[in-house]
Homo-oligomer: A and B are copies of this chain.
Amino acid sequence: MSDMTSTADAPRSPGRPRSVRADEAIIEATLDLLAQGNTIESISIEAIAARAGVGKATIYRRWPGKDALLRDALRTLKGNPPEPAGRSVRDDLILLVGAVGHHIDPRAERIMPCLVPEVNRSPEQYQLYQNIIEPRRTLMREVLRRGVRTGELRADLDVEVTMAMLTGPMLVQRVMRWHPHLDEATLAEQIVDGLLDGIRAR
């Protein structure tokens, strides 16, 4: 697990993959096994290799171990993070909040919620989960810090709590449709404007 404790986005694979198709088959096999209800703990490199139709050595040439492979596999569920335009803090936050809990792969709906008990049980898997989401948190952190610098946001802003306040409502709505009557199409804007303006009467 030592490879997971360095910074989240350090490159893992020293060489270039010889075949993108093998890479994709390995990632697909990993996600299929997770979507079938297998736990992170129970999945073996052997099982992934067998399902992908490659040898174990092919996997180890591309990833140093199971955790690095799982991190890459789980990240593909989300697709690429959005790119803030850098003009208005409000617009950038709406873009980032709108991407929270959005997955481009339908297997995510089966995989992600059931990771939670594992993540709570194991420090290694908690670190894996943090490594998956930290790059997106970094994007939002930079937008908020920029807002403080430019004077758009209050100088005493608690950036980490604010990120939780922007992310949490969208995440529970996307992952479990927490409230049946919220409109996902407008929710990102409602969250950002609600938090910018506050709810206290003035």
Contact = CB atoms under 8 A, between A and B. Distances in A.
Contact of A120 (B109, B162, B199): B109
Interface stretch (A5-13, A17-25, A74-82, A172-180): A172-180
A87 interface: no
Interface in A175-189: 175-182, 187
Given A164-B178, A178-B168, A182-B160, A154 B114 contact: no
Nearest to A118: B113
B198 A196 contact: yes
A179 B165 CA distance: 11
What number of copies of this chain does the assembly contain? 2
A99 B195 CA distance: 21
Q: Could you tell me the dominant secondary structure of chain A's interface residues? A: helix
A165 B161 contact: no
A95 to B, nearest CB: 17
A116 to B, nearest CB: 4
A187 B168 contact: no
Interface of A: 109-110, 113-114, 116-117, 119-120, 126, 129-130, 133, 137, 151-155, 157-158, 160-165, 167-173, 175-182, 187, 190-191, 194-202
28 contacts: A109-B120, A113-B113, A114-B114, A114-B117, A116-B176, A129-B176, A130-B180, A137-B179, A152-B201, A153-B201, A154-B200, A160-B179, A161-B169, A161-B191, A162-B194, A163-B179, A164-B182, A165-B165, A165-B169, A165-B191, A165-B194, A167-B178, A168-B171, A194-B195, A195-B199, A196-B200, A198-B198, A198-B199
